[in-house]
């Protein structure tokens, strides 16, 4: 999974969209925000395809949680065995 850090200018409220994202989404996008996240997608794509892509992103995020948990458990065991 690839992540991009996007900074928003504090006064102008503008953000630089990395080239890789802009090339993927195109020049006209829609944004669907909630309180903790925002979903950007090309305006000419079907909602069905957006949902399919979103499910893939969710699976990647869930996998990242599993990996973090595994690493934490491993570090705990290493400290326990060496401590």
- pLDDT for 18 equals 95
What are the tens digits of pLDDT across the range 5-33? 999 999 999 999 999 999 999 999 999 99
User: Domain containing 35: what range?
Assistant: 1-44
Claim to verify: residue 58 and residue 23 sit in the same structural domain: no
End-to-end CA, the chain:
34
- Quick one: DSSP state of residue 44? T
Whether residue 62 sits in one domain with residue 29: no
CA dist., res. 61 & res. 69, Å (int):
12
pLDDT score of 83 more than 70? no
32 and 59, same structural domain? no
pLDDT (average), residues 66-81 = 78
């Amino acid at each position: 999974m690839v992540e991009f850090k996007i900074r928003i200018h504090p006064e102008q409220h503008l953000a630089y969209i990395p080239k890789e994202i802009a090339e993927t989404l195109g020049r006209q996008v829609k944004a669907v925000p909630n309180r903790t996240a925002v979903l950007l997608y090309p305006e000419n794509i079907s909602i069905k395809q957006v949902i399919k892509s979103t499910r893939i992103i969710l699976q990647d995020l869930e996998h990242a949680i599993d990996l973090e948990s595994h690493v934490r458990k491993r570090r705990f065991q290493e400290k326990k065995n060496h401590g």
